[in-house]
Structure 1
Amino acid sequence: MAKKNIKIPLLRKASKSFLWASMLLMVLSTIALFFYVRWLLEKEVEEELFSAEARIESALLAGQHPSSLAPIIEINEVDELKTAFTKDTVIFDPSQDEMELFRELSTYKSINSKSYKISVRVLVVETNQILWAIILSYMVIILLVFVFQFYLNKSNNKKIWNPFFHNLEQMKKFSLLSKEPLQLLDSEILEFSELNKEISQLTGKVRDDYENLKQYTEDVSHELQTPLAIIQAKIENIINGQSLTEIQFNQLASIQKDIQRLTQLNKRLALLTKLENHQFTHRASIDITDLIAQIISNFNEISTISLTFEKASNIMANMDPYLAEILCNNIISNAIKHSSHGKPINIESKNMVLSVYNYGATSIANPQQLFTRFYRENKEFKSTGLGLAIVKKICDLYGYDITYAYINGHHCFSIDFGSTTSTRKLSS
């Protein structure tokens, strides 16, 4: 199963990147500052040690003998000269009554024919305190700067991107049925301004193409009705008015059926177009159970298949009465067409759900395509393949759920008239 990508708002993404980059820079700069300041302090301490040693050497050269001040200064005569060195040492400080860390410089000098070991020490505890004081001060300052920059950057980004978000909301509200142009917010940002221009041109072209296609579909549907009716009438006149051979009669009857199918196809395509264009805006409270009972009564008069209706509760729907009748007619006629061996069809209404059961030897091979236009599971049935597609469009229009299941040797189509949480708003 593919991992679902989590979508992050633009401003949050930009702020998150700024946050991580700033934190990384703050940590790295703090570490660099720590080692740099410590190196400066150690260098300063050693310069102080070398300076004190130089003053002592000058005093010895001048014949003066500076007195030792342990543990700060120690001057001792030695037998041999060695290499100068520096080191850290811990010495007991009686003034503080504790061990203290000192930085020590030990040099060996030959002065006035005598060899001396000069040791100079500096207390370094205070330098560590200064170091940490500098680091903490720096962290507080950089943190304050970071917080200020973060909110300033967020506020500035929000202001810059405001036209984009406004125009995005306008795009979400875009409707082909509305004649009003999009109210896009102009921006001083060149790319946003170009985007606005492209959006305006694109939506204008889409509206024009939609209107042209809509007009073309309506014109074709309207113009086809008259010639189809004329052809149908002429064929009926030929069948009724002349003596025909059996072959001619069968051919004309076949042509007549094809014309009837073409007429029905034309009407259903026109209906689908109107549904997609949201042209059915009238609504009324419809008792679906009463409508089903009337349709069943009509079908029982002309169909050899028995239809039974079990009404556990009434189903009330707020929809166009014409569409309600088409919805119920199509779902029942579909069951009649595909009921095997003339087995009875059972219809139930319960808890705002209308269910239609018809017998079938096997389940449908491609249930996911049932509501697709022109799909026919069995090619032997010469139907338009639009009945269930129209049912699905009507359900989608009002937010009703329609489902298919194969239960105990029966095909079951269920329409939930109570699932209106996703109802679409009809555009005026």
Structure 2
Amino acid sequence: MGDTLKKIRLIRKTSKTFLGISALLMLVSTVALYFYLRNLLQSEVEEELRSTEARIESSLVENPEPFQLSPVVEIQKVSRLGNEVLKDTIIYDPSQDEMEEFRELSTFSAINGENYRITVRALVVESENILIAVVISYLVIILLVFLFLFYVNRSKNQKLWTPFFHNLEQMKRFSLSSDAPIALMDSEILEFSELNTEIKLLTNKVRSDYRNLKQYTEDVSHEMQTPLAIIQAKIENMINIEEPLDDQQFEQLTSIQRDIQRLSQMTKRLTLLTKIENNQFANVEQLDITRLMAVTVQDFCEISNNAIKVDFEYPIKVDMDPYLATVLCNNLVSNAIKYNIAQQDIVVGSTVDDISISNAGTTPLKHPDSLYNRFYRESDGVKATGLGLAIVKRICDLYGFGIDYRFSGDRHVFTIHFGKK
């Protein structure tokens, strides 16, 4: 079985998606803006350099004497013409009394029969400052817009999904045993409206099927009891007639009688299981489960040859249906008696939150994980319905109790944990 996916709320998921996409777009757009403005400013600087160079050439036509305006303009006579050079350089700026970065354009021109190298420079720092200022301004504006859109989007999403979350809570509270219609919130969203319609149809159908199945189960259970009771009575009459039965007839009738009792008991237990799984036991009271177990042990001691020792250290209070508490105790003690060997003692004890019951055994169970399945029996040696422990497990699940089995010291030990699992 694969790893369980980590669950996340819908609003948080959509918000994380919005955040991720927005952050990516902000990063990409900022980088793109930075390089675009950088190239644009660099182009403007180069255009300014060429414009300055053209004006200097015009000035040299009228006045051929070289001049300098360090570090912005340098004009030198050269012996021959060279290639144009455009580059970044760092030179000393007397006005700032420090080294500064410049964009430098060096060209060669022949003017009035003389060869000149004309070098013009533009300060790069100013353009970089402009670039950084523009990018920061852009980031601030985008961030503010992003925050505004994020909270507006989140608020709108919460409002938009409110009917869905409300209806989800109603579905969580939905109960088959209640006849109250499910209260769904209407929505202007078409898909939500269609979902509401399907939910109403589904819940009505489930309730109808549940009522039909419940009625069917109760009817079958009730109707089976009557013919079983009649058959049982007829068998008893046959056994008790004046004409004596031979051993074979008596044994067959007794076997039929046991099977009828087992069938009747199975029907009642299946009905009980169905009621437990349908949560039809809503009468919850605070009970002393140790006291109830002691009464149950006393009752079984009157009809059983097994010796049952009781050792309760602490009383345990639980909140549960009294009838189910009685069934829980009866099934645990009955199971221990059925599978006890050599008439050894059965021991029932308690700690702060646990009750344990153990009976003697020779070997541990082969399939302990199947103990609580319906109709499961470890062996056919004991004629039981295979429903006792299944009922115990369903009762524990209903109230959040824990149950475990272990084999220790040649004894089968069942422990019910009444504390928080």
TM-score range, shorter chain: over 0.9
Corresponding residue number in structure 1 for 2:315: 314
Cα shift readout 1:47-89 (whole Å, capped 9, x = no counterpart) = 111112222333444x444762422333333322222222223
Cα–Cα, structure 1 residues 357 and 37, in superposed 2: closer, same or farther, change >3 Å?
Answer: same
Give the match's secondary structure for 1:102.
Answer: strand
| 1:402 maps onto 2:390 in alignment | no
Return 83-92 or 370-379, whichever deviates more: 83-92
**Deviation at residue 149 of structure 1 after TM alignment:** 1.8
Identity percentage of aligned residues: 57
**Deviation at residue 111 of structure 1 after TM alignment:** 2.6
Cα–Cα, structure 1 residues 226 and 50, in superposed 2: closer, same or farther, change >3 Å?
Answer: same
**Deviation at residue 4 of structure 1 after TM alignment:** 4.5
Q: Supply the distance in 1 between the matched residues of 2:119 and 2:295 (Cα, whole angstroms).
A: 117
Q: Supply the distance in 2 between the matched residues of 1:64 and 1:285 (Cα, whole angstroms).
A: 114
Corresponding residue number in structure 2 for 1:380: 381
Corresponding residue number in structure 2 for 1:50: 50
Contact 2:177 2:280 in 1 (8 A): no
Letter in 1 for 2:369: Q
Corresponding residue number in structure 1 for 2:329: 328
Corresponding residue number in structure 2 for 1:149: 149
Corresponding residue number in structure 2 for 1:426: none
**Deviation at residue 263 of structure 1 after TM alignment:** 0.8
Corresponding residue number in structure 2 for 1:163: 163
Q: Supply the distance in 2 between the matched residues of 1:371 and 1:182 (Cα, whole angstroms).
A: 34
Return 42-51 or 185-194, whichever deviates more: 185-194
**Deviation at residue 413 of structure 1 after TM alignment:** 1.4
| 1:371 maps onto 2:396 in alignment | no
Cα–Cα, structure 1 residues 338 and 24, in superposed 2: closer, same or farther, change >3 Å?
Answer: same
**Deviation at residue 96 of structure 1 after TM alignment:** 1.8
Cα–Cα, structure 1 residues 29 and 389, in superposed 2: closer, same or farther, change >3 Å?
Answer: same
Give the match's secondary structure for 1:109.
Answer: strand
The residue correspondences of 1:201-212 to structure 2 (distance < 5 A) are: 201-212=201-212
Cα–Cα, structure 1 residues 313 and 87, in superposed 2: closer, same or farther, change >3 Å?
Answer: closer
Contact 1:284 1:318 in 2 (8 A): yes
Cα shift readout 1:84-106 (whole Å, capped 9, x = no counterpart) = 22222333222222222222222
Contact 2:76 2:116 in 1 (8 A): yes
Cα–Cα, structure 1 residues 89 and 393, in superposed 2: closer, same or farther, change >3 Å?
Answer: closer
The residue correspondences of 1:14-413 to structure 2 (distance < 5 A) are: 14-61=14-61, 63-65=62-64, 68-71=67-70, 72-241=72-241, 242-413=243-414
Cα shift readout 1:344-381 (whole Å, capped 9, x = no counterpart) = 11112332432211001111222222122111111221
Cα–Cα, structure 1 residues 3 and 266, in superposed 2: closer, same or farther, change >3 Å?
Answer: closer
Cα–Cα, structure 1 residues 248 and 153, in superposed 2: closer, same or farther, change >3 Å?
Answer: same
Letter in 1 for 2:250: F
| 1:11 maps onto 2:39 in alignment | no
Contact 2:218 2:271 in 1 (8 A): yes
Give the match's secondary structure for 1:184.
Answer: coil
Letter in 1 for 2:131: L
Q: Supply the distance in 2 between the matched residues of 1:408 and 1:289 (Cα, whole angstroms).
A: 24
Cα–Cα, structure 1 residues 130 and 261, in superposed 2: closer, same or farther, change >3 Å?
Answer: same
* Structure 1: unaligned runs, 5 residues or longer: 423-428
Contact 1:308 1:346 in 2 (8 A): yes
Cα–Cα, structure 1 residues 106 and 382, in superposed 2: closer, same or farther, change >3 Å?
Answer: same
Contact 1:107 1:118 in 2 (8 A): yes
Cα shift readout 1:147-178 (whole Å, capped 9, x = no counterpart) = 22221221122122211111111111111111
Contact 1:11 1:158 in 2 (8 A): yes
Query: What is the TM-score normalised by the length of structure 2?
Result: 0.92
Cα–Cα, structure 1 residues 57 and 226, in superposed 2: closer, same or farther, change >3 Å?
Answer: same
Q: Supply the distance in 1 between the matched residues of 2:400 and 2:101 (Cα, whole angstroms).
A: 81
Letter in 1 for 2:328: L
Query: What is the TM-score normalised by the length of structure 1?
Result: 0.91
Cα–Cα, structure 1 residues 124 and 352, in superposed 2: closer, same or farther, change >3 Å?
Answer: closer
**Deviation at residue 260 of structure 1 after TM alignment:** 0.9
Corresponding residue number in structure 2 for 1:425: none
Q: Where has structure 1 moved over 6 Å in runs of 4 or more?
A: none
* Structure 2: unaligned runs, 5 residues or longer: none
Return 111-120 or 8-17, whichever deviates more: 111-120
Contact 1:56 1:66 in 2 (8 A): no
Cα–Cα, structure 1 residues 45 and 165, in superposed 2: closer, same or farther, change >3 Å?
Answer: same
Contact 1:167 1:184 in 2 (8 A): yes
